[in-house]
Amino acid sequence: MEEGLKINLEGYYKTYEDVPVSETFVNFNDHTFRSEKNLNIGTQKVYGVDLLVQQKLVKDIYGTISYSRMWSKVDDPRIGYEGNTYSSDYDFPHVFNAIIGKRFSNLRTNLDGMPFYIKYPSYILPFSDDMEISVRWRYASGKPYTPKIYVTNEQHRVGGTDWTEGSWIASSDVNGSRYEPYHRLDIGFNSRYNFDSWNLIFTLSVQNIYNRKNITMYQYNSDGTVDNVYQFSLLPVAGIEVEF
């Protein structure tokens, strides 16, 4: 095994019983049934494997790669669907993270020894003797969701004498669809200034650097159209921390 290299592989299998389930959901096929009661009849299984490859700091470089293969299945509690299963809300079959970072030592000291036309302009930038740059990429399978169906035989009043042209109803295929996969690339920088009794840390990061449009949810409009609702796009963040 190389210096500072750690590899870990773990498997797991978990079962959950007596999970609260809406009584209305249990009677899914009875469209006239309404109840605010929950029944402790739900069962769920979660199993998978986790792989971690970690390189600790060696020659000012470190990195981590992690991968999870997971299944999260729910036994269908609905009347008439006995024996079926569906993906839970937190079923992400594939999750991958990769981080690589580099530390820079004594850069400020080295710059102070350079000619004045390099030394003094360098003070504009937050260069110190203890700096770090890191890059992180993450990927996850799309979150499962239950498709909705637009029907025109049901309308809802939207105000006054105005009614919708139809209504959205949940399909029977619980969590049968998935949003698009989630992924993004982040870059971070921090510079630490160490004083006798306190430290000053300057941080700068750019999240979602290639501006991936990750979908949070779908917005179902009363006219039957569907809009995508996205998470944040490219986002720069800067900050200053003080440690005592």
pTM for the model: 0.85
Provide the pLDDT for residue 161: 67
170 close to 191: Cβ distance less than 8 angstroms: no
Flag whether pLDDT at 8 surpasses 80.
yes
Provide the pLDDT for residue 222: 83
- Percent of the chain past pLDDT 90, that is, above it, reads 77
- Of 47-51, 116-120, 207-211, the one with minimum mean pLDDT is 116-120
Flag whether pLDDT at 158 surpasses 80.
no
Domain boundaries in the chain? 51-243
Which of 184-215 are b and which e, b meaning 16 or more Cβ less than 10 Å from the residue's Cβ? bbbebebbbeeeeeeeebbbebebbbeebebb
The label of the residue with tokens 């870990």 reads: 8
- Percent of the chain past pLDDT 70, that is, above it, reads 95
Residue 28 to residue 44: CA distance in whole angstroms:
19
146 close to 173: Cβ distance less than 8 angstroms: yes
